[in-house]
Amino acid sequence: MNMSDSAANRRILIIDDTASIHQDFRKFLRQEQGDEIPVASIENVLFGAARSERQTFEIDSAYQGREALNLVNTFCSPP
């Protein structure tokens, strides 16, 4: 994988056995315009200023370690 590939790869793997944790991460990371929690205000509190550009992420979920390992092997194996 070269540097441009890693810069373009915005994949997140959420590993937890609680479904609500997965939902919370998805809600925050995939927030659409008009959602209840304004991301700009959260970023302002956390980072001191709102970021001008929203990044998109591919989100995968695993509820157990073996499932997570299988996903990592699937996405990280050489072509």
Instruction: Spell out the domain ranges in the chain.
Output: 3-76
Q: Which amino acid is at 77?
A: S
Q: How many helices (H) and strands (E) does the chain have?
A: 4, 2
Alpha carbon distance 59, 16 (integer Å): 13
Confidence at residue 2, expressed as pLDDT on a 0 to 100 scale? 47
Quick one: pLDDT band at residue 47, thresholds 50, 70, 90? Answer: confident
Phi, psi (rounded to 5 degrees) for 76: -105, 0
pTM here is: 0.58
* C-alpha distance across the termini of the chain, in Å: 10
